[in-house]
Amino acid sequence: MILSNLGTVGAQFTHFGRTDDRVVATELAAYRPDLIVVAFGTNEAFRPGFSASSYEATLRSDLTRLRRLAPGVPMLLIGAPDSATKLPGLQTGESGTSVPCPAAGPWRPTAALASVQAVQRRQAQAFGIAYWDWAQRMGGRCVADGWTQGAAPLMRGDHVHFTSRGGAEIARLLQADLDAAMAQLVRPTVPAPSTPDR
């Protein structure tokens, strides 16, 4: 298996729109991918002035473009993971103020995180592509604080980035779910028992 990561630190999926069609098409033709994984959303959720309608339009446009440039290649959209901030300016946004997490002190998800996740889920369904709920597999809303605790934390103290151990755990969960999905696809069908002719 070969993994080609096209992401960069701080990137948002809207940056994909700045790439040239011919370059992307040439790269995809050379890679001949078996699966395209789209895993953005955290940086969008931390963007000041986030607009859900603008994000949805961008995601729809970029998924349409990706499908056009890589026809027939299956896609997996990975939802934004749970994360948190203690910056009041990010805890309030167009969708209101995020609800505090129990026992997390000043840390809470950004106001935009739930909107980002809802848009991703909706667009994955609209495009008929696979969706992996990263936040839910971590344990749901407000688990980021717990992932930062203990002698061997799974997330760094910023409540956004994962430690090596946390990254390995996420990889384990994703691989388990991919394996389960593949097993469903290739499960042999058992023919119904035949009845002898009388």
Q: Do 92 and 48 contact (CB within 8 A), yes or no?
A: no
pTM value is 0.85
Please choose, from the candidates 132, 17, 112, the residue with its C-alpha nearest in 3D space to the C-alpha of residue 63.
Answer: 17
> What is the model's pLDDT at position 27?
86
3-state secondary structure of 165: helix
pLDDT value at 198 more than 90: no
- Mean pLDDT estimate for the chain: 88
Please choose, from the candidates 136, 132, 131, the residue with its C-alpha nearest in 3D space to the C-alpha of residue 114.
Answer: 136
pLDDT value at 1 more than 60: no
- Look at the block and give the residue holding tokens 């936040």: 135
Q: Do 59 and 120 contact (CB within 8 A), yes or no?
A: yes
pLDDT value at 104 more than 90: no
Give the dihedral of Cα atoms 116, 119, 124, 127; nearest 10 deg: -140
> What is the model's pLDDT at position 195?
60
For residue 195, which amino acid is it?
Answer: T
The CB density around residue 75, as the number of other CB atoms within 10 Å, is 19
pLDDT value at 194 more than 80: no
